[in-house]
Amino acid sequence: MGEVDPGFIQEPEHRPKLHTLQAEKIPVIDLFPITNHEVSDSSSIEGLVKEIGSACKEWGFFQVINHGVPITLRQNIEKCSRMFFGQTEEEKRKIRRDENSPMGYYDTEHTKNVRDWKEVFDFLAKDPTLVPLTIDEHDDRLTQWTNTSPPYPPHFRDIIEDYVEEMEKLSFKLMELIALSLGLEAKRFEEFFKRDQTSFLRLNHYPPCPNPHLALGVGRHKDPGALTILTQDEVEGLEVKHKAHEEWIRIKPIPNAYIINLGDIVQVWSNDAFESPEHRVVVNSEKERFSIPFFFFPAQETDVKPLEELINDQNPSKYRSYKWGKFLVHRFNTNFKKHKVGNIQIYDYKIR
Domain locations along the chain: 20-349
* Architecture of the domain delimited by 20-349: Sandwich (2.60)
Torsion (CA) 108, 109, 113, 114 in degrees, nearest 10:
70
pLDDT value of position 267: 98
What is the Cα–Cα distance from 183 to 135, expressed in whole angstroms?
34
How many CA atoms lie less than 13 Å away from 75 in the CB half-sphere?
4
What is the Cα–Cα distance from 223 to 204, expressed in whole angstroms?
15
What is the Cα–Cα distance from 238 to 248, expressed in whole angstroms?
10
What is the Cα–Cα distance from 150 to 28, expressed in whole angstroms?
36
pLDDT digits (tens, 9 = 90+) for 224-254: 999 999 999 999 999 999 877 788 999 988 9
State the burial class of residue 54 (Cβ atoms within 10 Å of its Cβ: 0-12, 13-18, 19+).
Answer: middle
pLDDT digits (tens, 9 = 90+) for 125-169: 999 999 999 999 999 999 999 999 888 999 999 999 999 999 999
H helix or E strand, kind and range, residue 219: strand 218-221
Amino acid at 63: Q
Query: Under the phi-then-psi rule, with left for phi > 0, alpha for psi from -120 to 50, and beta for the rest, what region is 204?
Result: beta
By C-alpha distance, which of 223, 222, 310, 228 is closest to 273? 310
**Mind listing the pLDDT tens digit of every residue in the chain (352 residues)?**
333 344 333 334 443 443 334 445 789 999 999 987 655 577 889 999 999 999 999 999 999 999 999 999 999 999 999 999 999 999 999 999 987 788 999 986 544 444 678 999 999 999 999 999 999 999 999 999 999 988 899 999 999 999 999 999 999 999 999 999 999 999 999 999 988 899 999 999 999 988 777 777 888 899 999 999 999 999 999 999 987 778 899 998 899 999 999 999 999 999 999 999 999 999 888 999 999 999 999 999 999 999 999 999 999 999 999 999 999 999 988 765 554 456 789 999 999 8
- Sign (positive or negative) of CA dihedral 352, 274, 242, 11: negative
pTM: 0.91
